[in-house]
Amino acid sequence: MALKVETVKVEKGQFLVLQEQNEELETETLGACVALAARDREKKIIGLWVFVLPAEKILNPKVGGVPQTFFAAEGIDIFLEALEKAGAEREKLEFFAAGGARFLEAPTVFDLGGLNASMLRKLLKDRGLTLKAEVCGRPFPCRMFVNGKEAMITVKISGEEEETW
């Protein structure tokens, strides 16, 4: 008898890390937000993080109570440390990104999706890490799914197009 896979939603500004579990992680619809999936195939560890803004300094200082994982610059190391605490080895992690939609109607000055995707690439590069694959910057929203048992990452774009890594 096959075990039922439980789906767990990763909310914006949060992450989850799983080790060899019968769960699937999924995002809500990603517009300008970016989802970063990480996997260590050898240790069977996966993680999924969804950030909303490139850096905390963009937010009005009067806004309080926002977790650091809401921001790419402040949340990246928290996510990486959680993966390592679960047993992943940083040099064996593979990274995949989706989201960062660039809506054609929006003026370039409001290209939050582009800023988010660029910030992620820079942050990974600064840490000697790279994306193995990405679906960022398209003019359509998407969702990311990470299958814990199979360590497969799937991106569904506007519910039609699909990529699996």
Low-confidence ranges of the chain (pLDDT < 50): 1
State the pTM of this model.
0.91
Please name the helix (run of DSSP H) or strand (run of DSSP E) that holds residue 114, with its range, or none: helix 112-126
pLDDT of residue 66: 87
Pick the CATH number of 11-164 from 3.40.50.12170, 3.30.1330.200, 3.40.50.10860, 3.40.50.300: 3.30.1330.200
Separation between Cα atoms, residue 147 and residue 145, nearest integer Å: 6
What are 45's two structure tokens? 């560890």
Closest CA to 44 of 2, 81, 90, 88: 88
pLDDT value at position 4?
64
Please enumerate in sequence order all residues whose Cβ is within 8 A of that of 30, keeping only pairs 6 or more positions apart, or say none: 50, 98, 99, 100, 101, 141, 142, 143, 144
- Report pLDDT digits (tens) over 102-128: 876 655 557 889 999 999 999 999 999
